[in-house]
Amino acid sequence: MKPLTITICTGTTCYVMGSGYLLSLQEQIESACSRPIEIVGSSCLGLCKDGQYGCAPFVQIGSTVIAEATPEKIIETLKQQTARNPMEQI
Amino acid sequence: MNNRFFIEVDCARQNKHGQGAPGDVFLSQRDPDEGRIVCVLADGLGSGIKANVLATLTATMALKYVRSDMDICKAAGVIMSTLPVCSRRKIGYSTFTIADIHPDGRIRMMEYDNPPAVLLEGPTVLPLEKKSMEIQTAHLGPRPLFYSNFRAGQETRLVLFSDGLSQAGMGRPKTPLGWTAEKAVLFLREQIRRLPNISARQLCRAAVTEALRQDCLEAQDDISCAVIYFRRPRRLLVVTGPPIDSRKDPLLAARVAEFDGRKVICGGTTANLIARELGRTVQVDLSFLDPEIPPVSMLEGVDLVTEGTLTMSKTAQLLEQNQEPDLSRPNAAVRLMNILLESDQIEFVVGTKINEAHQDPNLPVELDIRRNLIRRIVWLLNEKYMKQASIEFV
């Protein structure tokens, strides 16, 4: 199965609010949602600017933005997306 | 500001085993207008606090006297008579070497009882003509002081060291007379032969580490080595923050692309805008993660890309605390510090656009205003590390 890309913002605000911790959770997230994933860091995604997307830290999975991301929220989103498209890279 | 060559000054020191205070003191000061540098290495009698007081007094007075162009023999006599007298040995004594360096490479040097200073052009030792003069000391009578006047060219190094270095390992079966100044010079020449561009910082550290090894890692005396390196300036451009007017973005990107020297970008948004203008991509490098400092990124043609405020705050803190970058975790702040210290002429180009994302009062206070932060770093680089750093706001 093709690994699913999870983009984690490493901009200042996101890092201060805990995205650094999320970057190190590859194995835990992978085993919790039982499918291969790839964690990719990104320089500031620019989502924190206008409050439209909510608060940092931000994680992007495909076109879905997770605000105030936590490992639980990421796993939850992954499970939902896998249920919708079981075989595809989202 | 002298552009023909840059003069890098650094000193490495190791306290005598078991002593908390150094008995050797090295002071250097650059005159910001003239570019003149005065360096003093003083070794106080004994070790620990007593030696430190003697050496600090000597170095401070020598620095002041030389800067005010007082006759050096008279100054040396005054220093010797002013030093506090040791209750046990009944003398007040400290050795010193003073180098008064003109930005065009002319050097006036005064040596009193330290091992002779060495002038190296590449790995070759250049002979120094030294004139012996007599100074009057209160407790020891007339003593010889050696005066020399010479010119240093491109790629020369002036090396000063204390007797703790030349006598390291003394009394041990392999080195009954210690490492000796001759062997220490051979070691310096070998280092330069191996790494012709070795910085003053690395060379003085290498020499002190080797002396400590001769002493079986327990220094018998305070060990100091100072290197003054005359070389072609290593240029660095640090770009941080987007310009206030986005029409200047292409100009900033062109400046990065065309800069002759090493380049650093601090700030994700800045890195993104430069990548966009140059048609390149920024990739975050997750191979080293640090809990405090965001990871570095990679951008073709740029030597280091880091996050902005957090990284620079930490770098400023590290510079303030005199941290040793080679011994710290290699996070982005340490790598930034390393590249700053390995450069001579540093240009900071600071974008003044306000970062909306940092205006949230719930964020930590470390998110300092960029301009103040850079001013602090530039001040530290110029005053404490003797660099030629400048700021330009865009």
Mean pLDDT of B140-161: 90
Same domain, residue pair B225 and B262: no
Same domain, residue pair B202 and B214: yes
Q: Is A68 on the interface with B (CB under 8 A)?
A: no
Helices (H), B26-137: 48-67, 72-82
Using DSSP, state whether B378 is helix, strand or coil. helix
Domain membership of residue B160 (yes or no) is: yes
- Tell me the two tokens of residue B321: 């605390």
Query: Which residues does chain A have within 8 Å of residue B268's beta carbon, measured at their own beta carbons?
Result: 10-12, 43-44
Same domain, residue pair B225 and B345: no
- Tell me the two tokens of residue B310: 């957090």
Q: Do A23 and B286 touch (CB under 8 A)?
A: yes
CATH of the domain at B189: 3.60.40.10
How far apart CA B34 and CA B210 sit, in angstroms, is 36
Using DSSP, state whether B21 is helix, strand or coil. coil
Average pLDDT, chain B: 89
Query: Which residues does chain B have within 8 Å of residue A20's beta carbon, measured at their own beta carbons?
Result: 289-292, 294
Predicted local distance difference test score (pLDDT) of residue B384: 87
Query: Which residues does chain A have within 8 Å of residue B360's beta carbon, measured at their own beta carbons?
Result: 13
| Lowest mean pLDDT across A11-15, A86-90, B108-112, B150-154 | A86-90
Query: Which residues does chain A have within 8 Å of residue B364's beta carbon, measured at their own beta carbons?
Result: 16
- Tell me the two tokens of residue B129: 């003509």
Domain membership of residue B1 (yes or no) is: no
Same domain, residue pair B225 and B243: no
Q: Do B297 and A24 touch (CB under 8 A)?
A: no
Same domain, residue pair B249 and B287: yes
Same domain, residue pair B70 and B211: yes
Does the interface predicted TM-score (ipTM) exceed 0.85? Answer: no
Domain membership of residue B352 (yes or no) is: yes
Taking CA atoms, what residue in A is nearest to B286? A41
Count of helices and strands (H, E) across chain B: 10, 18
What residue has token string 């105030």?
A68
Predicted local distance difference test score (pLDDT) of residue B143: 81
Same domain, residue pair B364 and B329: yes
Report which of residues B315 and A43 the model is more confident about.
Answer: B315
- How many angstroms separate the Cα of B334 from the Cα of each of A46, B56, B289, B300? 26, 30, 13, 21
Predicted local distance difference test score (pLDDT) of residue B265: 97
The shortest CB-CB distance from B310 to any of A16, A23, A44 is to A16
Residues B238/B262, Cβ–Cβ less than 8 Å: no
How far apart CA A79 and CA B231 sit, in angstroms, is 60
Domain membership of residue B13 (yes or no) is: yes
Same domain, residue pair B209 and B268: no
Using DSSP, state whether B305 is helix, strand or coil. strand
Domain membership of residue B289 (yes or no) is: yes
Give the pLDDT band (50/70/90) at residue A88: low
Q: Which of B193, B216, B231 is the last residue of a domain?
A: B231
Helices (H), A1-90: 12-14, 20-23, 26-33, 71-84
Q: How many domains does chain B have?
A: 2
Average pLDDT, chain A: 85
Using DSSP, state whether A68 is helix, strand or coil. coil
Q: Which of B196, B231, B266 is the last residue of a domain?
A: B231
How far apart CA B141 and CA B135 sit, in angstroms, is 8
The shortest CB-CB distance from A44 to any of B268, B295, B367 is to B268
Domain that holds residue B184: 6-231
How far apart CA B330 and CA B341 sit, in angstroms, is 15
- How many angstroms separate the Cα of B30 from the Cα of each of A48, A72, B8, B9, B284? 44, 56, 11, 10, 39
Same domain, residue pair B385 and B370: yes
Same domain, residue pair B168 and B262: no
Give the range with max mean pLDDT: B86-90, B112-116, B321-325. Answer: B112-116
Predicted local distance difference test score (pLDDT) of residue B2: 45
Q: Is A10 on the interface with B (CB under 8 A)?
A: yes
Query: Which residues does chain A have within 8 Å of residue B304's beta carbon, measured at their own beta carbons?
Result: none
Same domain, residue pair B223 and B239: no
Q: Do B268 and A12 touch (CB under 8 A)?
A: yes
- How many angstroms separate the Cα of B345 from the Cα of each of B14, B263, B302, B325, B332? 29, 12, 17, 19, 21
Q: Do A42 and B284 touch (CB under 8 A)?
A: yes
Predicted local distance difference test score (pLDDT) of residue B259: 96
How far apart CA B206 and CA B375 sit, in angstroms, is 32
A4-84 CATH, one of 3.90.870.30, 3.40.50.2300, 3.30.70.20, 3.40.30.10: 3.40.30.10
Q: Do A10 and B307 touch (CB under 8 A)?
A: yes
Query: Which residues does chain B have within 8 Å of residue A11's beta carbon, measured at their own beta carbons?
Result: 268-269, 294, 307, 357
